[in-house]
Amino acid sequence: MKKYNIFLLVLIFYISISISKTFAAQTPITKLSATNGEIKSITTNGGQLSANIDTQDGKLSNSLTPGFLITTNSNTEKSLQLTATCNTQEGTVNAFFFPLFSLDYHYIALTNSNALPQSYCVDCVKKFNGALNSDNNPNVIAYRMTNLENIPNVMKVYYDNNYNRWDITLLKRGAIPLNLEIPAGEVPLTNTYSTCDEAGSYQATITLSFI
């Protein structure tokens, strides 16, 4: 890649000299035009992506904070969506959910990638505001998320209960970081952690995208 860049610089330098020579000889008018298109870019931006689960109570050893960097060169409002999926035996399902009893908090379900649960186990966690008992959701553990907050003049956020996703409106251009947080030290949602959950890596994938 470096060699390629050096080659381009040399090429541009050569072109500049050639153009100058041409002007000197005949002074033709050459219009150079470059269109800068709209940039809508999202890249991953670090954050803490792994933690351990306390076998006693299911608490996370540290916060999980996947980060993203949103870049746009347009001041017009842009819409984005923050979604999450977790894997089951039947395929991926929505990992975000909003229990009926919860007035304030939203949750994310992590599933055991070493012993995938059936999708109904994730459904049990979502439907019953946690779980009626720990036996009906093996290999699924649900954690509270820190709510995303509006940032004045930068972005507005809204949790869509119908689709269980975050809708984000970007209000300015530039490079804007965004982190989701699953805080450490919080007990999992009621009856979602028990010895029915086998040892392994519990995962969810968070995706941020322009729409």
Partner 1 sequence: MINKNKKKSLMPTFLLATTLISLLNINEVKAAPIASQTVTAVLGTISAVESYGGTTSTTIDDTGSLTSPLDPGFKIISNIGTTQALTLTATTTSTSGEVNAFSSSNGNVYIALSNITTPPTSEAITNAQSDSPQAALNPNVICYAVTPPTNIEGQLEYSWNSSGNYYDVNLSHQGDTITQLVVPAASAKPNTFNGNDESGSYQAIVILSYN
C-alpha–C-alpha distance, residues 28 and 108, integer Å: 64
**Size of the chain in residues:** 211
Tokens representing 190 are 């009621």
Residue 121 found at the interface with partner 1 (CB under 8 A): no
Choose among 132, 83, 88: nearest CA to 110.
Answer: 88
Nearest distance from C-beta of residue 124 to partner 1, angstroms: 16
208 CB-near residues (< 8 Å, 6+ apart): 42, 68, 70, 80, 81, 82, 168, 178
State phi, psi for 4 to the nearest 5 degrees. Answer: -65, -45
Q: Which of 53, 124, 131, 170 binds partner 1 (CB under 8 A)?
A: 53
Total number of residues that touch partner 1 (CB under 8 A): 59
Residue 76 found at the interface with partner 1 (CB under 8 A): no
Stretch that binds partner 1, among 62-70, 119-127, 146-154, 158-166 (CB under 8 A): 62-70
Q: Which of 6, 11, 132, 175 binds partner 1 (CB under 8 A)?
A: 11
Nearer to partner 1, 12 or 132 (CB): 12
Stretch that binds partner 1, among 39-47, 97-105, 160-168, 169-177 (CB under 8 A): 39-47
Query: What is the x/- site pattern for partner 1, positions 172-211, by CB under 8 A?
Result: ----------x-----------xxxxxxxxxxxxxxxxx-
Neighbours of 191 (CB within 10 A): 20
Tokens representing 29 are 């008018």
In the complex, the residues that contact partner 1 under the rule CB under 8 A are: 8, 11-12, 14-15, 18-19, 22, 25-26, 28, 30, 32, 34, 37, 39-44, 47, 49-53, 55, 60, 64, 66-68, 71, 110, 112-113, 115, 135, 138, 141, 182, 194-210
